[in-house]
Amino acid sequence: MKRLCVVGTHIAHSVSPQMHNAALADLGLSREYHYDRNPMRPKDVQQLIDDIADGQITGANITAPLKEVIVPFIDRIGGDAVQTSSVNTLYSHKGMVVGCSTDGVGFIKSLQESRIDIPSTRCIVIGAGGAARSICHSLLKHDVPNLFILNRNVERARDLARVLRSGGNASVVSGRLEEFPNYVRHSDMVINCTPLGMRGVYENESPVTDSELMNGLSVMDLNYNPPRTKLLAMAEDEGCRTINGVMMLVHQGAESLRIWTGREPSIGVMRAAALAAIDEQGRSHEKGRVRKS
Protein backbone atom coordinates (compact mmCIF):
# COMPACT_ATOMS: atom_id res chain seq x y z
CA MET A 1 0.00 0.00 0.00
CA LYS A 2 1.39 3.38 -1.03
CA ARG A 3 1.01 6.00 1.67
CA LEU A 4 -0.07 9.58 0.96
CA CYS A 5 -0.59 12.11 3.75
CA VAL A 6 -1.17 15.67 4.86
CA VAL A 7 1.60 17.05 7.10
CA GLY A 8 1.39 19.99 9.50
CA THR A 9 1.13 21.00 13.14
CA HIS A 10 -2.63 21.69 13.30
CA ILE A 11 -4.29 19.11 11.05
CA ALA A 12 -6.87 17.50 13.34
CA HIS A 13 -9.65 19.23 11.38
CA SER A 14 -8.19 18.61 7.93
CA VAL A 15 -10.64 16.87 5.58
CA SER A 16 -7.94 16.05 3.03
CA PRO A 17 -7.97 12.34 3.97
CA GLN A 18 -11.71 11.98 3.31
CA MET A 19 -11.44 13.99 0.09
CA HIS A 20 -8.43 12.16 -1.32
CA ASN A 21 -9.55 8.68 -0.30
CA ALA A 22 -12.92 9.28 -1.97
CA ALA A 23 -11.14 10.29 -5.18
CA LEU A 24 -8.83 7.26 -5.00
CA ALA A 25 -11.81 4.94 -4.53
CA ASP A 26 -13.55 6.56 -7.49
CA LEU A 27 -10.43 5.94 -9.61
CA GLY A 28 -10.24 2.31 -8.47
CA LEU A 29 -6.96 2.97 -6.66
CA SER A 30 -8.01 2.45 -3.03
CA ARG A 31 -6.16 -0.87 -2.83
CA GLU A 32 -2.97 0.75 -4.08
CA TYR A 33 -3.01 4.10 -2.23
CA HIS A 34 -4.22 5.36 1.14
CA TYR A 35 -4.17 8.97 2.40
CA ASP A 36 -3.97 9.90 6.10
CA ARG A 37 -2.87 12.62 8.53
CA ASN A 38 0.73 12.96 9.69
CA PRO A 39 1.04 15.55 12.51
CA MET A 40 4.54 17.02 12.55
CA ARG A 41 6.49 19.79 14.21
CA PRO A 42 8.94 21.95 12.25
CA LYS A 43 11.94 20.32 13.93
CA ASP A 44 10.91 16.89 12.59
CA VAL A 45 10.68 17.64 8.85
CA GLN A 46 13.91 15.79 8.05
CA GLN A 47 12.18 12.55 9.04
CA LEU A 48 9.47 13.23 6.46
CA ILE A 49 12.09 13.77 3.75
CA ASP A 50 13.80 10.52 4.75
CA ASP A 51 10.50 8.62 4.67
CA ILE A 52 9.75 9.86 1.14
CA ALA A 53 13.30 9.15 -0.02
CA ASP A 54 13.18 5.53 1.16
CA GLY A 55 9.64 4.91 -0.13
CA GLN A 56 7.76 4.69 3.16
CA ILE A 57 5.69 7.68 2.01
CA THR A 58 4.81 8.11 -1.67
CA GLY A 59 3.58 11.70 -1.49
CA ALA A 60 2.66 14.41 0.99
CA ASN A 61 0.69 17.63 1.15
CA ILE A 62 2.37 20.24 3.35
CA THR A 63 0.32 22.74 5.33
CA ALA A 64 1.05 25.57 7.78
CA PRO A 65 3.50 26.29 9.22
CA LEU A 66 5.79 23.97 7.25
CA LYS A 67 5.41 25.25 3.67
CA GLU A 68 8.49 27.45 3.92
CA VAL A 69 10.30 25.56 6.70
CA ILE A 70 10.65 22.43 4.61
CA VAL A 71 12.20 24.05 1.51
CA PRO A 72 15.89 23.77 2.57
CA PHE A 73 15.47 20.03 3.16
CA ILE A 74 14.20 19.22 -0.34
CA ASP A 75 16.48 17.93 -3.10
CA ARG A 76 14.76 19.78 -5.93
CA ILE A 77 12.03 22.44 -6.19
CA GLY A 78 9.87 22.81 -9.27
CA GLY A 79 7.13 25.00 -10.75
CA ASP A 80 5.94 28.13 -8.97
CA ALA A 81 7.69 27.03 -5.77
CA VAL A 82 10.98 28.19 -7.29
CA GLN A 83 9.76 31.80 -7.15
CA THR A 84 7.72 31.58 -3.95
CA SER A 85 9.93 29.32 -1.78
CA SER A 86 6.69 27.75 -0.56
CA VAL A 87 5.92 24.07 -1.06
CA ASN A 88 2.68 22.15 -0.50
CA THR A 89 3.33 18.91 -2.41
CA LEU A 90 6.19 16.41 -2.09
CA TYR A 91 7.03 13.29 -4.08
CA SER A 92 10.03 11.21 -5.11
CA HIS A 93 11.50 11.27 -8.61
CA LYS A 94 14.65 9.43 -9.71
CA GLY A 95 15.88 9.11 -6.15
CA MET A 96 15.28 12.77 -5.28
CA VAL A 97 12.64 14.32 -3.07
CA VAL A 98 10.88 16.96 -5.16
CA GLY A 99 8.75 19.81 -3.88
CA CYS A 100 6.25 21.94 -5.77
CA SER A 101 3.16 24.00 -5.03
CA THR A 102 -0.36 23.36 -6.27
CA ASP A 103 -1.80 26.18 -4.11
CA GLY A 104 -1.62 28.73 -6.91
CA VAL A 105 -3.39 26.48 -9.40
CA GLY A 106 -6.12 25.66 -6.89
CA PHE A 107 -6.57 29.31 -5.97
CA ILE A 108 -6.87 30.58 -9.54
CA LYS A 109 -9.30 27.83 -10.52
CA SER A 110 -11.50 28.66 -7.53
CA LEU A 111 -11.56 32.34 -8.58
CA GLN A 112 -12.39 31.37 -12.14
CA GLU A 113 -15.27 29.19 -10.93
CA SER A 114 -16.52 32.19 -8.94
CA ARG A 115 -16.32 34.32 -12.11
CA ILE A 116 -13.78 36.75 -10.68
CA ASP A 117 -12.18 38.80 -13.47
CA ILE A 118 -8.62 38.80 -12.12
CA PRO A 119 -7.06 41.40 -14.46
CA SER A 120 -9.58 44.00 -13.27
CA THR A 121 -9.57 43.08 -9.56
CA ARG A 122 -7.48 45.07 -7.09
CA CYS A 123 -6.60 42.70 -4.24
CA ILE A 124 -5.65 42.85 -0.58
CA VAL A 125 -3.87 39.71 0.63
CA ILE A 126 -3.86 39.36 4.42
CA GLY A 127 -0.89 37.31 5.60
CA ALA A 128 2.66 36.72 4.40
CA GLY A 129 3.22 33.01 5.02
CA GLY A 130 3.52 30.11 2.61
CA ALA A 131 -0.04 30.23 1.29
CA ALA A 132 0.10 34.01 0.85
CA ARG A 133 3.32 33.72 -1.15
CA SER A 134 1.70 31.32 -3.61
CA ILE A 135 -1.49 33.36 -3.86
CA CYS A 136 0.37 36.63 -4.51
CA HIS A 137 2.58 35.04 -7.15
CA SER A 138 -0.44 33.55 -8.92
CA LEU A 139 -2.36 36.82 -8.87
CA LEU A 140 0.55 38.65 -10.47
CA LYS A 141 0.96 35.92 -13.09
CA HIS A 142 -2.69 36.54 -14.02
CA ASP A 143 -2.18 40.32 -14.30
CA VAL A 144 -3.93 41.59 -11.19
CA PRO A 145 -3.70 45.42 -11.47
CA ASN A 146 -2.82 46.18 -7.82
CA LEU A 147 -1.73 43.95 -4.97
CA PHE A 148 -1.64 45.08 -1.34
CA ILE A 149 0.02 42.70 1.14
CA LEU A 150 -0.92 43.38 4.77
CA ASN A 151 0.40 41.51 7.79
CA ARG A 152 0.65 41.96 11.56
CA ASN A 153 4.41 41.42 11.22
CA VAL A 154 5.00 44.12 8.64
CA GLU A 155 8.58 43.02 7.97
CA ARG A 156 7.36 39.73 6.57
CA ALA A 157 4.96 41.63 4.31
CA ARG A 158 7.77 43.91 3.15
CA ASP A 159 10.06 40.95 2.48
CA LEU A 160 7.40 39.24 0.37
CA ALA A 161 6.69 42.47 -1.53
CA ARG A 162 10.41 42.90 -2.28
CA VAL A 163 10.61 39.37 -3.67
CA LEU A 164 7.57 39.94 -5.87
CA ARG A 165 8.78 43.34 -7.07
CA SER A 166 12.13 41.83 -8.05
CA GLY A 167 10.24 40.19 -10.91
CA GLY A 168 9.26 43.59 -12.25
CA ASN A 169 5.92 43.89 -10.44
CA ALA A 170 5.72 47.58 -9.57
CA SER A 171 2.09 47.33 -8.43
CA VAL A 172 2.92 45.46 -5.20
CA VAL A 173 2.55 47.43 -1.95
CA SER A 174 3.05 46.18 1.61
CA GLY A 175 1.75 47.49 4.91
CA ARG A 176 0.60 46.76 8.44
CA LEU A 177 -2.68 44.95 8.96
CA GLU A 178 -3.80 47.91 11.08
CA GLU A 179 -3.70 50.00 7.89
CA PHE A 180 -6.42 47.87 6.29
CA PRO A 181 -9.03 50.70 6.26
CA ASN A 182 -6.68 52.85 4.18
CA TYR A 183 -6.20 50.15 1.55
CA VAL A 184 -9.69 48.68 1.38
CA ARG A 185 -11.07 51.88 -0.16
CA HIS A 186 -8.87 51.19 -3.20
CA SER A 187 -9.59 47.46 -3.43
CA ASP A 188 -12.13 45.11 -4.97
CA MET A 189 -11.23 41.87 -3.17
CA VAL A 190 -9.87 40.77 0.21
CA ILE A 191 -8.18 37.37 0.61
CA ASN A 192 -7.47 35.98 4.07
CA CYS A 193 -4.38 33.76 4.03
CA THR A 194 -4.00 33.56 7.82
CA PRO A 195 -5.34 30.79 10.10
CA LEU A 196 -7.69 33.25 11.82
CA GLY A 197 -11.15 31.73 11.47
CA MET A 198 -10.03 28.10 11.23
CA ARG A 199 -12.00 25.59 13.29
CA GLY A 200 -10.48 25.08 16.70
CA VAL A 201 -8.22 27.62 18.37
CA TYR A 202 -8.86 30.47 15.91
CA GLU A 203 -12.53 29.85 15.09
CA ASN A 204 -13.86 32.99 16.78
CA GLU A 205 -11.24 35.29 15.30
CA SER A 206 -11.06 37.43 12.17
CA PRO A 207 -8.15 39.46 10.79
CA VAL A 208 -10.40 42.53 10.38
CA THR A 209 -13.57 43.90 11.97
CA ASP A 210 -17.01 44.20 10.40
CA SER A 211 -16.78 48.00 10.41
CA GLU A 212 -13.73 47.79 8.14
CA LEU A 213 -15.58 45.88 5.40
CA MET A 214 -17.56 47.61 2.67
CA ASN A 215 -20.54 46.66 0.55
CA GLY A 216 -19.44 45.61 -2.93
CA LEU A 217 -16.22 43.88 -1.88
CA SER A 218 -15.48 40.27 -2.72
CA VAL A 219 -14.08 38.50 0.36
CA MET A 220 -12.34 35.13 0.20
CA ASP A 221 -11.15 33.09 3.18
CA LEU A 222 -8.69 30.27 2.46
CA ASN A 223 -9.88 28.62 5.68
CA TYR A 224 -12.49 26.07 4.58
CA ASN A 225 -13.44 24.55 7.93
CA PRO A 226 -15.89 25.90 8.95
CA PRO A 227 -17.04 26.95 5.46
CA ARG A 228 -18.60 30.12 6.91
CA THR A 229 -15.81 31.64 8.99
CA LYS A 230 -16.26 34.66 11.23
CA LEU A 231 -14.78 36.85 8.48
CA LEU A 232 -17.20 35.53 5.85
CA ALA A 233 -20.18 35.86 8.19
CA MET A 234 -19.32 39.50 8.83
CA ALA A 235 -18.72 40.10 5.13
CA GLU A 236 -22.14 38.68 4.25
CA ASP A 237 -23.78 40.95 6.81
CA GLU A 238 -22.04 43.94 5.21
CA GLY A 239 -23.31 43.03 1.75
CA CYS A 240 -20.02 41.62 0.42
CA ARG A 241 -19.72 38.72 -1.98
CA THR A 242 -18.07 35.79 -0.17
CA ILE A 243 -15.96 32.83 -1.32
CA ASN A 244 -14.83 30.11 1.07
CA GLY A 245 -11.74 27.96 0.65
CA VAL A 246 -13.42 24.66 -0.22
CA MET A 247 -12.91 24.80 -3.99
CA MET A 248 -9.30 25.91 -3.60
CA LEU A 249 -8.79 22.89 -1.34
CA VAL A 250 -10.39 20.63 -3.95
CA HIS A 251 -8.47 21.96 -6.94
CA GLN A 252 -5.07 22.01 -5.26
CA GLY A 253 -5.73 18.49 -3.97
CA ALA A 254 -6.73 17.27 -7.43
CA GLU A 255 -3.50 18.66 -8.86
CA SER A 256 -1.49 16.82 -6.19
CA LEU A 257 -3.29 13.56 -7.00
CA ARG A 258 -2.45 13.99 -10.70
CA ILE A 259 1.22 14.31 -9.75
CA TRP A 260 1.20 11.25 -7.48
CA THR A 261 -0.94 8.88 -9.55
CA GLY A 262 -0.84 10.18 -13.12
CA ARG A 263 -4.64 9.95 -13.15
CA GLU A 264 -7.37 12.57 -13.50
CA PRO A 265 -9.52 12.66 -10.31
CA SER A 266 -13.16 13.73 -10.24
CA ILE A 267 -13.57 17.29 -8.96
CA GLY A 268 -17.21 16.51 -8.15
CA VAL A 269 -16.32 13.47 -6.04
CA MET A 270 -13.66 15.39 -4.15
CA ARG A 271 -15.92 18.37 -3.50
CA ALA A 272 -18.77 16.19 -2.24
CA ALA A 273 -16.44 14.25 0.08
CA ALA A 274 -14.88 17.42 1.45
CA LEU A 275 -18.24 19.07 2.13
CA ALA A 276 -19.61 15.91 3.78
CA ALA A 277 -16.56 15.67 6.06
CA ILE A 278 -16.78 19.36 6.99
CA ASP A 279 -20.48 18.97 7.76
CA GLU A 280 -19.82 15.92 9.93
CA GLN A 281 -17.11 17.72 11.86
CA GLY A 282 -19.42 20.69 12.35
CA ARG A 283 -22.14 18.49 13.85
CA SER A 284 -19.62 16.79 16.16
CA HIS A 285 -18.27 20.18 17.18
CA GLU A 286 -21.73 21.45 18.07
CA LYS A 287 -22.54 18.31 20.09
CA GLY A 288 -19.31 18.80 22.01
CA ARG A 289 -20.19 22.41 22.82
CA VAL A 290 -23.67 21.40 23.96
CA ARG A 291 -22.23 18.75 26.29
CA LYS A 292 -19.83 21.29 27.81
CA SER A 293 -22.54 23.92 28.37
Catalytic (active-site) positions: 67
Virtual torsion, Cα 21, 6, 131, 101, nearest 10 deg: -70
Q: How far apart are alpha carbons 183 and 204 in whole angstroms?
A: 24
Cβ neighbours around 27 below 10 Å, total = 17
* Strand pairing class (76-77; 96-100): parallel
H helices within the chain, ranges in order? 16-26, 45-53, 66-69, 81-84, 103-113, 130-141, 154-165, 180-184, 230-237, 246-261, 267-292
Specify whether the CB–CB gap between 140 and 169 falls below 8 A: yes
Local structure of 21: helix, strand or coil = helix
